[in-house]
Each structure stands twice: as structure tokens, then as C-alpha cells.
Structure 1
Amino acid sequence: MTDGTRPDEPLDGTARAAARHAVVVGGGLAGITAALALADAGVRVTLIEGRPRLGGLAFSFRRGDLTVDNGQHVYLRCCTAYRWFLGRIDACALAPLQDRLDVPVLDATRPEGRRLGRLRRDPLPVPLHLGRSLAAYPHLSLAERARVGRAALALKALDLTDPALDAQDFGGWLTAHGQSARAVEALWDLVGVATLNAVARDTSLGLAAMVFKTGLLSDPGAADIGWARVPLGELHDGLARKALDSAGVRTELRTRVTSLSPHENGGWSVRVLGETLRADAVVLAVPQREAHGLLPPGALDAPERLLRIGTAPILNVHVVYDRKVLARPFFAALGTPVQWVFDRTDASGLKRGQYLAVSQSAAQDEIDAPVAELRERYLPELRRLLPRARGAEVEDFFVTRERTATFAPTPGVGRLRPGARTKAPGLYLAGAWTATGWPATMEGAVRSGVSAAEAALRALGRPRPSRLFALEEAA
């Protein structure tokens, strides 16, 4: 692999302006976004990814005749940057949004049998859009519903720019605002665990407030749910690579950066196996520990803080039945270890029966459990939740584990997350773990790529491409 520039050949000012070259390290959503943005501005871009595919932690693989996503990923209508990304890679039609928020919630604890409730919105202004749904939500008492409404209004009044929110835990705040353990389980954690990958007591109030204010209390349609109706690899690898190729980005897979250092003639030397690349700008779009290992001395004040950004796991249980057992596309559950269940039959290519994916966030207690143990735990729960599963045969059962799926949104994490710029000229950071203001989501990853590309373009003297998502447009 070579970029056509000899490592020891200095460039004069005219040549350097004409041959600006950026290296993006990491081919997840953050890296893809940064590479596209830089290329759209006329910068020559090399994207380096160690895996044999793009997409980071939102990818697909083959298992027999099935195409399997490593985990179930969804987004919301308020995820305006990720929606821009889908448009940029020509994928909007493959990952549509609900016409209107509608989440079936099954409660398995009722003595009389499971009970169905729904969280859905009406075409009314905020906060009335959820008023009827909350008033009829059967999983809370009338008094609990009233207290939820008051807490939501108090949450809406919080100032997201107040740094003190980062140091508080969301669970303590909910308790102080009259939320019962049942209300936390049946509503706040139902949403929060799926979006933040942590229960309320382990979550920064700042991040939780951002999620609930943006998703549920900003615009009536903000929380409408979207998800890929095809394998994620078709989007984040196939279509993304096509977009990168069309933009002129050189993509190198199965290639790892071993070191990064300032070049004596300006710019950067990016070392891969057996070769050194010259670059005017470098975007590190890799996980925080990997970024820490590549950062040169002095690039960040207190770089060890990157190592203090914890991680949180996500477990996915995959079950293939010999018949259809679930009539709806997805549901959430209470009173059971099961959190969210999605029908992935069509997306996987399954021709007979039904394939369900059980998505388990904040899975610290189960992430290393043997498959046999998980099978014994989850199949009876699915039979309890889905009467049609009681007479069905299980044709396949397997598990996917992402032990470091997201950064942990613990109180105080905000002060550890760095911005896109480093103290080293021409070196930028991207990744959902950086200071996007969002939790570790596909939205946060795309926003970080935009921020890093914008910072690099300003330093390179290149105009911002008109097609690039504008962060100030965010909800």
C-alpha cells in the first residue's frame, strides 16, 4: 500500500495545497463519515480499517443460510445526523422509520397472565403527544402515572449545558422526584437501558436528560423508531463502501496502524505494516483505548483519562423457530430477563419459520454466561411471553456478545470525553465516545465524524462541503 508520496520528500506550499491528504484510522460509522466529508471537500483520503469489513460494531455475518446482525440497532427520528448518513450512502429506503411511535410492552408478572400495554404518540404538541398513552399505560398505577408526568416536566426544565448534571446519577434524581421502583422499571429504564446501555442508577443525569429531552420532550415525532429491514452489513459495509469509492476515498481493509508521529517536514507519518504514509491530517476514529495507544506525547492533556472511560456490554440471543411465534415486528418486556425482541426473519433471508433476536443491554451479569445456560434461561421466558412459542421447535439458538459495545454512561463521564481537536496540529479524534453530547449511539458516532472532519477542513483551508450535515440543525 502506498499513497504515492515518498516519506522523505518535502512538499512546497503550492504542491501541499494541491495534494492535501488525510488518513482516517477506523472504518466504523465515525470513520466513514469523516472520510466522506473530507473527500466531498476535495481532500485526498485514505481510510484504514483493521477488520475485513466496514461498519465497526454495527455489522453482519453469515451463519449457514442466515445473514445475522451482531446486534439489533435502532435509531430515532431525532437522530438527524444518522438519518443524513443514511441519505449520503443512499440507504434511507432500507431503514425506514415508524409513521408514529408505537412500542408494545408486555408485562409477564401479572397473576392473570401477561398484559399488553403500549407507548405511542398522538398527533398533538409536546407534551400532550404522549398524554393519552401515559394515562392508559396499564403497567403503572394512576398515582405513578401522575408522578411520571411531573418528573417529565422537571426533566424538560433541566439545562443540558449545566456541567453539574454530569456528576449526578439519574436514578437518584428519579427517586428525588417521586419515581417508584416500579416506575423506573416499567418506563424510565425501559427506554433508558436501550438507549444508554445502563440502568438509571448507573447513568449520568446529563446524558439521561439529553436522551429523554431530545427523544420524548422536544418534538412530537422525535422518538419514532427506525431500523434496518436488511442486514446492517448491506448498509454500513456494502453501501458505505460504494459511497466511499464514488467519493474517491481509498479504503484499505485488513490493515492496522502501528504508530503515529509528527513528520519532520510537517504533517504526520502513519505507520502500517511495512510502510509509512504521509498525511496532512489524521482522524483517529477508533475506540478510546486504541486511540490512547496511538496518540503521540502531548496530543492531549491528561491522556490517561481516556482509559477511565469505561465500557458496557450488550448481549444478543438469537432464536430460530420452525414456525411464526410473533406477529408484530418487535416488543419490549417487563417482569422477565427479556428486554427487547425483534423479528429478523425477512432481513436474515430465512425462508421458513421465524428468527427472533433478543437484545439485552447492560448485560454485565450475563455477557460471559455459557450458551447452554442462556438457552435454559431465555427459551422458557420466550415461551412465557409468546404463547405460540410453546408448541414450536427451536431449530437454532446462538449468542453474539459485544463486551465493549459502548462507553459506560456513568456519572462524571462527561469530563473524560475529549473533543475532536487535539493539541497536536492536524490530529483529530472521532468516535461515539468523544464529546458529542450524545450517548454511545450510531447518531453519536456520525456526529463525531462530522466534528472531526469540520475541524480538519478548517485547518486545511478547505471549504465545508454543502452536502455535509450541519450539527447546529440537530433537534
Structure 2
Amino acid sequence: MTAPCAEPRARGSGPRDVRVVVVGSGLAGLTAACDLADAGFAVTVLEARSRLGGATFSFQRDGLTVDNGQHVTLRCCTAYHALLTRLGSADGLEMQDRFRVPVLAPGGRFTELRRTDARAPLHLVPAIARYAALRPLDRLRVFRAALALRGLDPQDASLDSLSFADWLSRHGQNDATLDRLWNLITVAALNGHASDVSLASAAMVFRTALLESADGADIGIPRWPLDDLHVRPAEKYLLERHGQVRTHSTVRGITPVRERFLVRMDDEVLDADAVVLAVPPETAMRVAPGRAGLPEARLTRLGAVPIVNVHVVYERPVTDLTFAAAVSSPVQWLFDRTAAAGLTSGQYLAVSLSAAETWLTTPASALRDVFLAELARFFPAAATTPCSRFFVTRQRRATFRQGPGSNSLRAAQRTALPGLVLAGSWTATGWPDTMEGAVRSGHRAAELVAAHLAGGVSR
């Protein structure tokens, strides 16, 4: 549903006379727009594509409702959970009572990581002690590194220049612990292996999710498609608050005029009192005026990392697991999306491949050969059950490259032009490139805009 654009209003004394344009409709943009609409401003969301959602959306494929990626959340992702509650869609997220990850290994071996109710970090002691994917001596190595990791400060700028793998090596880790534990988490959370991620980012993830609170890593998996979970609810929320949402609206440039902004599209110019640029960094650099002072040299160096998703539909169920991780296998994480996709018979499994440069250009036929064989190794029923549908989705720029030095490259949300702010999980949120980071950036952008329009200063 798309609302038509009204003529620009003259600026008056009430919030409804003040127009804010939000460029981009991903989680960051939608969050900022909802906040600003709640504050009473006249909000217009402009989206270049035909659909809303940015990097988290759903689409139709052969009768299935398919998410573009397998997005999960953790209990420590409080801003995202609060957004779903606010939008009335929290029931679409299935949260674990306690952290538990089934871990598969070739040959039919099965183990798991499961926390207890003890206080952090003792809640993970039984999980590591019983983790059969590692030898007892390697489990002891993990304990020692985890205790040392808990003592790091993710805000220490010196950690950002270091590789997580180098730090792990100095703390007694070997190839087995890297492959079967540390990379299991860094690949999923940071879209990179331990050798390719910043120590500061890794310390933030492990401390926040696993080491500081007993329930921080409890996993939430969408039971609804992403469009139903937060995209359409956010659009409805905005329209109910007199916001405007426009697709097929590509912004070509933003021109500051005194204390206002002209937002230029192909055949239209909107007048705005403030603008939130909730777009990828390359788009922000292209449309923002030079006076905004975006650190283009730094942002260009952020780079990007792909994620590839392999989608397999079997004629009959092959496993009763709702999700699982895998070690010593091309399979990283897999999810049962049967119910969420609307499949009424058989089983739909989605295999998520992060840090997927290896698979990005691999033909779908080759991926089919590899991953059907791997799933058959994990699940005996898959070896004898026909695959009725197989397809691949590829996100070429799924996240920025969260390697050593990357945090120092991220842009502040406040620009040099008052009233023009940035939003997106690539900005300096203190969080990795995740849905939680995107939502937090949206809140911060709205806060900066509201303070500017009120004539104040937000720190």
C-alpha cells in the first residue's frame, strides 16, 4: 500500500507543520519514521524499490513466502524486540526459553550447546563441558579463552585494529576450537570467520550475548515472514499516524537551502525541514551534499560481504529440528521454514551461508549437488526423500566487512549539516551489522532530528 504525496506544507508552530523526509525503508528508516511520526512530525518515507524492507524482506517464489535471508535475533537485542511489541507483531517471533543450539557433524553425530539457569558466565560451563564436538582438552582451552574475553572492553579502540583469530591464538586456541566453536558464532553474528573480524566486534558479541547475562543469547526465530513481522506492521503504523510511504521514489540528491532541504527525485522535489538518510553508505555518499561532510574515504573502505541462502523443499519431512548449526561441513546453519513459508506438505529447509565469497558465483546446479549430499549426510531421510524444489538467493552486499579496523571507518549519525542525519546498521552504533544495530540507529537518528527541530542539541 502506498500513500500519495501531498504538497509541501508551510512551516508553522505545530509538529504536523514540520516535514521530515526519511530516505530508505529498511529497519533503520522505518524505526526512525515511526519515532518521528509518534513525535507528531509530518513524515514521508521514500523508497527507490517497489517494496519496503531494505535488507530484511520477503518475496513470493513458486507458491512459497520466502525471506531474503535467515534473520534471527537474541534476547539481548532489546531494541528490535521492543519495536515488534510496539508494532503489535511480537507474537511472530518464537523465543527460546533458554539458549540451546543443536550442532550437527558429518556421520550422523549430534551434540548441542545449552545453557543452564546459573548466573553468567557459569551458565555456560555445562554447555562447554559436554560439548562433544571438541575433545576434553580443547573444551578446557575454550574455558580459559572465554574468561579472558570477558575481561576485554569492546569500547577500547585499540581492540578494533586486532584480528579475533590472532587474539584467540595467543590464548591457546587451535584449529579445532576455531572450526567447531568460535567460527560457529562469528560467522553467524559478524558474517566473517575469526581471522576476518575485529577483536572489538567479537568481544562485543560474545560479552553482550554470552558472557554478561545468562539469557542474553536465547535465540528468537521468526515464525512469520519478515514482511509480516516488521515491514507491513511498520507501514501500517506510519499510515495510521498520517505518515506517507512512497515506493518507486529514487532520491537523486539533497540540496540544503538555508535551514531546509530540497529532496530531488526524477520528476519531483520535496521540501523538508529535516532528512534522515537511511540508505547504504554508497547511496548516502552519492546523494548527500558535500557540505554534509561524510567521510567518503573511510566509508569506501568498509567494503561488503555476501550471504548466500540455499532453499530446499523435500516431498516429506526429513528432520524434526527447527534449526541447527553444523561443523566440519559446508552447511553452516539451517532452518525449517515450512510453516512460515505457507508450505502445507513436505518440508522446506533453508541453509544460510555467511561469509559466502566462495559460493557467491557458484552455479545453482553445483550448489544443489553439494548441499543435497551434505543434508543427506546429516539426515538419513533426506537421502531417500525426493527434492521437489531447489533454488538459491544471493545477497551480494549483505553486511559491511567487519574486519580489523572497521569500527573506525563507520560514520557518526550526525553530519556537518544540522537536520541531515544518517541511519543504518553500518553507522557507528556500537553494535555489529544486525537488525538490532539498524533499529538502534533509527532511534538515534530520530532523536537527533527531534532535538534539531526543537532547537536543542542531542549528545
**TM > 0.5 fold call:** yes
Distance in 2 (alpha carbons) for counterparts of 1:421 and 1:329? 41
State the Cα distance separating 1:345 from its structure 2 match. Answer: 0.5
Task: Determine if the alignment matches structure 1 residue 26 to structure 2 residue 20.
Answer: no
CA deviations 1:274-315 (Å, max 9, x no partner) are 111111110000001011101111312532321111110000
Select which of 49, 55, 58 maps to 2:56: 58
Select which of 237, 245, 255 maps to 2:231: 237
Select which of 258, 268, 271 maps to 1:275: 268
Distance in 1 (alpha carbons) for counterparts of 2:455 and 2:370? 56
Seen in structure 2, the aligned counterparts of structure 1 residues 17 and 353 have a Cα distance that, compared at 3 Å, is closer
Task: Determine if the alignment matches structure 1 residue 126 to structure 2 residue 120.
Answer: yes
> Do 1:97 and 1:226's aligned partners in 2 also have CA atoms closer than 8 Å?
yes
> Do 1:41 and 1:463's aligned partners in 2 also have CA atoms closer than 8 Å?
no
Distance in 1 (alpha carbons) for counterparts of 2:149 and 2:196? 17
User: What's the secondary structure of 1:126's corresponding residue?
Assistant: coil
CA deviations 1:396-441 (Å, max 9, x no partner) are 0000000000111011111110111000111000000000111110
> Do 1:88 and 1:243's aligned partners in 2 also have CA atoms closer than 8 Å?
no
TM-score (norm 2): 0.96
Cross-structure match for 1:167: 161
Distance in 2 (alpha carbons) for counterparts of 1:249 and 1:148? 51
Task: Determine if the alignment matches structure 1 residue 364 to structure 2 residue 357.
Answer: yes
Distance in 2 (alpha carbons) for counterparts of 1:458 and 1:69? 36
Matches within 5 A, 1:395-434: 395-434=388-427
Letter in 2 for 1:5: P
Cross-structure match for 1:467: none
Distance in 2 (alpha carbons) for counterparts of 1:85 and 1:219? 22
> Do 2:129 and 2:139's aligned partners in 1 also have CA atoms closer than 8 Å?
yes
Question: CA RMSD for the aligned pairs?
Answer: 1.8
> Do 1:58 and 1:236's aligned partners in 2 also have CA atoms closer than 8 Å?
no
Letter in 2 for 1:363: A
Seen in structure 2, the aligned counterparts of structure 1 residues 208 and 397 have a Cα distance that, compared at 3 Å, is same
Give 5+ residue unaligned stretches, structure 1. Answer: 465-471
Give 5+ residue unaligned stretches, structure 2. Answer: none
The sequence identity of aligned pairs, in percent, is 49
Select which of 133, 142, 146 maps to 2:136: 142
Following TM superposition, where does structure 1 have runs of at least 4 consecutive aligned residues deviating by more than 6 angstroms? none
> Do 2:304 and 2:400's aligned partners in 1 also have CA atoms closer than 8 Å?
yes
Cross-structure match for 2:345: 352
State the Cα distance separating 1:15 from its structure 2 match. Answer: 4.7
Letter in 1 for 2:345: R
Cross-structure match for 2:84: 86
Cross-structure match for 2:248: 254
User: What's the secondary structure of 2:290's corresponding residue?
Assistant: coil
State the Cα distance separating 1:2 from its structure 2 match. Answer: 4.3
Distance in 1 (alpha carbons) for counterparts of 2:21 and 2:71? 28
Cross-structure match for 1:100: 98
Distance in 2 (alpha carbons) for counterparts of 1:362 and 1:266? 43
State the Cα distance separating 1:237 from its structure 2 match. Answer: 2.4
TM-score (norm 1): 0.93
Matches within 5 A, 1:245-394: 245-263=239-257, 265-300=258-293, 302-394=295-387
User: What's the secondary structure of 1:61's corresponding residue?
Assistant: strand
Task: Determine if the alignment matches structure 1 residue 49 to structure 2 residue 47.
Answer: yes
Distance in 2 (alpha carbons) for counterparts of 1:59 and 1:282? 24
Select which of 183, 189, 197 maps to 2:183: 189
> Do 2:425 and 2:438's aligned partners in 1 also have CA atoms closer than 8 Å?
yes
> Do 1:3 and 1:278's aligned partners in 2 also have CA atoms closer than 8 Å?
no
